[in-house]
């Protein structure tokens, strides 16, 4: 090989090495620095803390909602018991009204019978003995 061929071969190797060096430098410059990594880590930690706050607030809200649901369930049960009590009172009142109407009808019959017999009307429900 001549001197010229050796020079060309060395120049080619030098150019190849220079190209590799340029690629490595570009990759090195593109890689984040320690300061960049630290800043990104700090930003991620701040976001993580913010997410943790939201999670905690969400858990507290869920707990409050569960307590409110429980309170509403108790209120519902109380209302159902009140409705049952009112229904019982209404049934008792209905029974009293039936007896009263029956008594009133009997009093009217007695009043009518005593009037027909010409007797005194002292046992009617409107007499002074009931007042």
123 with 102, same domain?
yes
Same domain membership, residue 103 and residue 48: yes
- In angstroms, rounded to a whole number, what is the distance separating the alpha carbons of residues 77 and 34? 64
pTM above 0.75, yes or no: no
pLDDT of 110-122, one tens digit each? 888 888 877 554 5
Number of domains in the chain: 2
Q: Which domain holds residue 47?
A: 32-130
Together in a domain, 75 and 24: no
Same domain, 71 and 124: yes
Question: Domain check: are 18 and 45 in the same one?
Answer: no
**Chain segment 45-94, per-residue pLDDT in tens:** 999 999 999 999 999 999 999 999 999 999 999 999 999 999 999 999 99
Residues 51 and 110 in one domain: yes
Mark whether 79 and 121 lie in a shared domain.
Answer: yes
The DSSP output letter for 122 is: T
């Amino acid at each position: 090989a001549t001197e010229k061929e050796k020079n060309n071969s060395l120049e080619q190797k030098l150019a190849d090495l220079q190209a590799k060096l340029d690629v490595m430098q570009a990759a090195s410059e593109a890689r984040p620095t320690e300061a960049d990594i630290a800043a990104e880590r700090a930003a991620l930690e701040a976001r993580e803390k913010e997410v943790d706050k939201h999670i905690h607030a969400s858990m507290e809200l869920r707990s409050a909602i569960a307590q409110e649901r429980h309170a509403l369930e108790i209120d519902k049960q109380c209302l159902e018991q009140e409705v049952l009590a009112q229904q019982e009172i209404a049934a008792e009142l209905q029974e009293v009204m039936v007896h009263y109407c029956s008594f009133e009808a009997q009093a009217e019959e007695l009043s009518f019978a005593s009037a027909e017999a010409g007797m005194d009307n002292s046992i009617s429900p409107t007499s002074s003995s009931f007042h």
